[in-house]
């Protein structure tokens, strides 16, 4: 897997497949990027589970906070890592011990650990590094175009509304042949 | 469009970038969203929009879907990460400086800029406490010498107006990188069809849409493109981007928006608070213009080369300054930075001086005597008596606008007609 460049279909197929996302390292402060991403994905219909050992006393956006991934009592489809690169490896190792295993490990913008990525890929997980799922969702749904960002996508088909509000768009269908 | 497998070409991007069919109606051409405001889905959605937590539309002073298509279109053509449309090229420059500068800061700018930019930087910027230090693109070390610890950016034009000067973008970009400041390039005269400043190390591009991008002389507009290349958080020099913002509950824009944070800062701090928003109707007209940009620019350049070659053989003409001409001082730089043509704006000198310039602009019949450039129509002006009138005589000569200078913006008419009009104008006693 080339982790310098991901095809739009690879990213789209991940965001179209996963339903439950555990965000490791979320901040309860509403001006932090992790809070932004968590709230945005929650608002797009994902089941979002906050993971932060220092923040278990109070829910974040009404979602119960767990200290570790292993504490989560339900299956997780994707682990989204909001920690700096040096903290990634133990989080990936813990993810791989979960039953059932998650399908996707996602590392946020500026976060990258190739060794941890290959561990996960060896047992069949998909990995995305140095990307933000909020930005990628916004880009592939065309929502991000509203703020003048170059989505690097062209289409003669119109973007589809998500159906939960006028300014929430869906990702569109994944093209199966190029999902990998 | 297949996703990442193919990178679309320039002509395809000129037509399609940013412009998917309208999600609500299916309208294929981008609609003119002539509205001040957009309804919120609910209270929570409104809060998320105002807090920058979600993408969407609030109020046309901050963003508008028609303007957004234009922003993405130009960002894609330049190879940048994001764009911001504003009311004019001058507004684009002020918004960029507002995001970078605080009172007492300096910018280093080429002394061979469009006369209006020289005025803006020399005079209006003083009221903000921003000080311009001029450097000479013909003397590259003068840029390095002008840089001080107070310098926040370097500003140049890719093809300078009106003199037909090509700036060595790559050399100046290296100096900017060494100094740890962004390089801003005004790419108005070249357009991304002729020159892509990000390929040579520019960090921010500004445009007057009024000129060749719009191309039809019907709309004033400006645009800022973020190259996504500059590290705003390396030091505390750029607090708009690297420090918690009191306007938005302590958000740090660079950390939150990554490689398009500069465009966001220009929108949510500059445009929001200073207010020079582009009309959606103007955005629509410019978008229509851009669809034919590659066709028009090539014809502009081909016509201009023919006119410049013809003028250079006329007895009334002392000199022609067009980098497309083989013997021109800037021909080598033009071959590097603008290989498809050297643009459509250039100057020439009349042996008869000031009076001959005034006589020529008065006698032409096809050329229009006016202050704009980059129209389908051929345009003519005598800068010393008009656009550059406010400058001192020394500044006029420095800016390439001495008393004998006539500036042309060659249009898309038949080149034989353009030349015939100049011939009758020059022959008029």
Q: Give the CATH number of the domain where residue A34 resides.
A: 3.40.50.720
- Distance between first and last Cα of chain B: 60
Query: What number is the average pLDDT over the span B191-203?
Result: 98
Q: For residue range A2-61, what is the model confidence (pLDDT) as tens digits?
A: 999 999 999 999 999 999 999 999 999 999 999 999 999 999 999 999 999 999 999 999
Task: Report the percent of chain B where pLDDT is more than 90.
Answer: 90
Q: What is the rounded average pLDDT of the residues B211-222?
A: 98
Q: Which residues contact B37 (CB under 8 A, 6 or more apart)?
A: B58, B59, B60
Domain boundaries, chain B: 10-289, 293-427
Could you tell me how many CB contacts below 8 A there are between chain A and chain B?
A: 135
Of B266, B181, B184, B273, the C-alpha closest to B232 is: B181
Confidence of residue A180 (pLDDT cuts 50, 70, 90): very low
Give CA–CA dist B365/B373, Å, rounded. Answer: 17
Q: Best mutation site among A4, A11, A13, A150 for testing chain B: the one with the most B CBs within 10 Å? A: A150
Which residue in B1, B4, B41 is closest to A165 by CB distance? B41
Give tens-digit pLDDT for B19-49.
Answer: 999 988 999 999 999 999 999 999 999 999 9
Looking at residue B429, its pLDDT comes to 76
| Yes or no, beta carbons of A159 and B20 under 8 Å apart | yes
Residue B284 structure tokens: 């629509």
Residue A176: band (very low, low, confident or very high) from pLDDT cuts 50, 70, 90: low
Gap between the Cα atoms of B324 and B86, Å rounded = 32
Top pLDDT among A1 and B263 is at B263
Q: For strand B204-208 and strand B183-186, is the pairing parallel, antiparallel, or unpaired? A: parallel
| Mean local confidence (pLDDT), B165-170 | 96
Q: Would you state the structure tokens that stand for residue B117, as one six-digit string? A: 């930019």
Q: Give the mean pLDDT of B155-175.
A: 93
- Which CATH number applies to B293-427? 3.90.1150.10
B149 touches chain A (CB under 8 A): no
Mind telling me how many Å the CA of B142 is from chain A's nearest CA?
35
d(CA B343, CA B161): 10
- The reply to whether residue A150 touches residue B81, judged by beta carbons under 8 angstroms, is yes
Give the per-residue pLDDT at B2: 44
Q: Which residues does chain B have within 8 Å of residue A107's beta carbon, measured at their own beta carbons?
A: none
- Residue by residue, what is the 3-state secondary structure of A95-120? HHHCCCCCCEEEECCCCCCHHHHHHH
Of B13, B16, B82, the CB nearest to A149: B82
pLDDT at A2: 93
Kindly tell me if the per-residue pLDDT of A178 is higher than 70. no
Do the domains B10-289 and B293-427 sit in the same CATH topology, yes or no? Answer: no
Residues 243-272 of B with CB under 8 A from A: 244, 248-251, 255-256, 258, 260, 263-264, 267
Angle CA A121–A123–A129, to nearest 5 = 25
Inter-chain residue contact A154 with B23, CB threshold 8 Å:
no
Question: Does residue B197 register a pLDDT over 50?
Answer: yes
Q: Is residue B163 predicted with pLDDT exceeding 80? A: no
Inform me whether the C-beta atom of residue A45 falls under 8 Å from chain B C-beta atoms: no
Residue B5 pLDDT class (50, 70, 90 cuts): low
The answer to whether residue A174 is domain-embedded is no
Domain ranges, residue A43: 8-133
Q: Is residue A148 part of a domain?
A: no
| pLDDT higher than 50, residue B291 | yes
Cβ within 8 Å, pair B80-A150:
yes
pLDDT-derived band of residue B65, with 50, 70 and 90 as boundaries?
very high
Average pLDDT score over residue span B387-402 = 80
Looking at residues B352-378, what average pLDDT do you find?
95
Considering the domain boundaries, does residue A27 fall inside one? yes
Could you tell me if residue A28 is inside a domain? yes
Whether the upstream peptide bond of residue B403 has omega within 30° of 0, thus cis, is no
**Which residues of chain A lie closer than 8 angstroms to B49, CB-CB?**
167
B389: confidence class by pLDDT, cuts 50, 70, 90: confident
Reported as a single tens digit per residue, the pLDDT across A85-135 is 999 999 999 999 999 999 999 999 999 999 999 999 999 999 999 999 999
B17 Cβ contact partners less than 8 Å away, ≥ 6 residues apart:
A150, A154, B8, B72, B73, B75, B76, B77
A39 touches chain B (CB under 8 A): yes
pLDDT class of A175 with cuts at 50, 70, 90: low
Is A106 within the bounds of a domain? Answer: yes
Burial (CB < 10 A; 0-12, 13-18, 19+), residue B307, is buried
Q: What is the ipTM of this complex?
A: 0.93
Mean pLDDT lowest for which of A10-24, A159-173, B223-237, B264-278? A159-173
In 3D space, the residue among A61, A55, A59, A51 whose CA is nearest the CA of residue A30 turns out to be A61
| Average predicted confidence (pLDDT) for chain B | 95
Assign domain B10-289 one CATH number from 3.30.930.10, 3.40.640.10, 3.40.50.300, 3.90.1150.10: 3.40.640.10
Min Cα separation A110/chain B (Å):
9
3-class state of residue B109 by DSSP: strand
B222 close to B85: Cβ distance less than 8 angstroms: yes
Cβ atoms of residues B13 and A153 within 8 Å: no
Residues in chain B with CB shorter than 8 Å from the CB of A144 are 55
Mean pLDDT, range A123-149, rounded to an integer: 96
User: Is A5 near chain B, with CB under 8 Å?
Assistant: yes
Whether the pLDDT of residue B314 is over 50: the answer is yes
pLDDT of residue A167: 85
Q: In the beta sheet, which residues pair with residue B155?
A: B109, B184
Q: Write out the DSSP string of B265-313.
A: HIIIIIIHHH--PPPHHHHHHHHHHHTTHHHHHHHHHHHHHHHHHHHTT
**E-state strands within B76-217:** 82-86, 106-110, 131-135, 151-157, 159-160, 165-166, 183-186, 204-208
pLDDT of amino acid B396: 83
Tell me, yes or no, whether A162 lies in a domain.
Answer: no
DSSP tag of B201: T
| Nearest chain A residue (CA) to B65 | A146
E strands, B194-266, in order: 204-208, 222-226
- Check if the beta carbon of residue A107 is closer than 8 Å to that of residue A113: yes
Task: Encode pLDDT of B243-252 as tens digits.
Answer: 999 999 999 9
Total structural domains within chain A: 1
Residue A163 has a pLDDT of 84
pLDDT of B1 over the 80 cut: no
Tell whether A148 lies on the interface with B, counting CB pairs under 8 A: yes
Q: What's the rounded Cα separation, in Å, for the pair B342 and B190?
A: 8
Q: Where are the alpha helices (DSSP H) in B51-108?
A: 65-78, 89-100
How far apart are the C-alpha atoms of A61 and A65, rounded to whole Å? Answer: 10
């Amino acid at each position: 897997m080339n982790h310098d460049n991901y095809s739009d279909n690879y990213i789209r197929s991940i965001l179209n497949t996963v339903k439950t996302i555990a965000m490791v390292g979320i901040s309860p402060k509403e001006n932090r990027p992790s809070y932004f991403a968590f709230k945005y994905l929650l608002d797009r219909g994902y089941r979002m589970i906050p993971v932060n050992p220092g923040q278990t006393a109070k829910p974040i956006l009404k979602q119960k906070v767990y200290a570790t991934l292993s504490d989560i009592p339900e299956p997780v489809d994707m682990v989204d890592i909001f920690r700096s690169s040096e903290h990634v490896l133990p989080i990936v190792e813990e993810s791989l011990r979960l039953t059932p295993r998650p399908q996707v490990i996602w590392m946020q913008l500026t976060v990258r650990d190739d060794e941890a990525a290959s561990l996960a890929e060896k047992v069949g997980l998909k990995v995305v590094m140095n990307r933000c799922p909020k930005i990628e969702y916004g880009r592939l749904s065309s929502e991000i175009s509203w703020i003048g960002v170059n989505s690097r996508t062209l289409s003669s088909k119109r973007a589809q509304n998500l159906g939960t509000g006028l300014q929430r768009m869906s990702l569109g269908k994944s093209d199966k042949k190029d999902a990998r | 469009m297949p996703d990442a497998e193919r990178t679309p070409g320039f002509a395809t991007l000129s037509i399609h970038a940013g412009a998917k069919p309208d999600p609500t109606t299916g309208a294929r051409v981008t609609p003119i969203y002539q509205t001040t405001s957009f309804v919120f889905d609910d209270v929570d959605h409104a809060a998320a929009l105002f807090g920058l937590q979600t993408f969407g539309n609030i109020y046309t002073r901050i963003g508008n879907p028609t303007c957004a298509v234009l922003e993405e279109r130009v960002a894609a053509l330049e190879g940048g990460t994001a764009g911001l449309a504003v009311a004019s090229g001058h507004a684009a420059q002020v918004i960029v400086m507002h995001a970078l500068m605080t009172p007492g800061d300096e910018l280093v700018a080429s002394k061979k800029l469009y006369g209006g930019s020289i005025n803006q930087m020399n005079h209006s910027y003083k009221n903000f406490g921003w000080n311009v230090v001029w450097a000479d693109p013909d003397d590259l070390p003068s840029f390095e010498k002008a840089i001080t610890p107070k310098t926040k950016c370097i500003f140049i034009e890719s093809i300078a107006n009106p003199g037909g000067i090509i700036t060595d973008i790559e050399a100046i970009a290296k100096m900017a990188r060494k100094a740890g400041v962004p390089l801003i390039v005004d790419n108005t005269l070249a357009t991304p069809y002729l020159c892509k400043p990000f390929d040579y190390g520019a960090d921010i591009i500004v445009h007057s849409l009024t000129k060749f991008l719009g191309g039809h002389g019907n709309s004033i507009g400006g645009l800022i493109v973020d190259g996504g290349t500059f590290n705003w958080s390396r030091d505390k020099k750029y607090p708009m981007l690297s420090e918690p913002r009191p306007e938005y509950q302590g958000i740090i824009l660079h950390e939150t928006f990554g490689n398009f944070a500069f465009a966001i800062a220009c929108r949510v701090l500059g445009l929001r608070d200073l207010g020079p928003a582009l009309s959606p109707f103007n955005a629509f007209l410019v978008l229509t213009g851009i669809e034919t940009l590659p066709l028009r620019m090539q014809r502009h350049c081909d016509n201009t080369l023919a006119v410049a070659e013809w003028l250079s053989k006329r007895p009334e003409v002392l000199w022609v300054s067009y980098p497309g001409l083989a013997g021109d001082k800037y021909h080598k730089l033009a071959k590097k930075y603008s290989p498809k043509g050297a643009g459509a704006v250039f100057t020439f000198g009349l042996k008869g001086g000031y009076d001959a310039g005034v006589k020529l602009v008065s006698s032409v019949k096809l050329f229009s005597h006016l202050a704009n450039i980059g129209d389908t129509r051929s345009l003519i002006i005598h800068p010393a008596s008009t656009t550059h009138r406010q400058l001192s005589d020394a500044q006029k000569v420095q800016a390439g606008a001495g008393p004998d200078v006539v500036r042309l913006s060659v249009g898309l008419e038949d080149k034989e007609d353009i030349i015939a009009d100049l011939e009758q104008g020059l022959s008029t006693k």
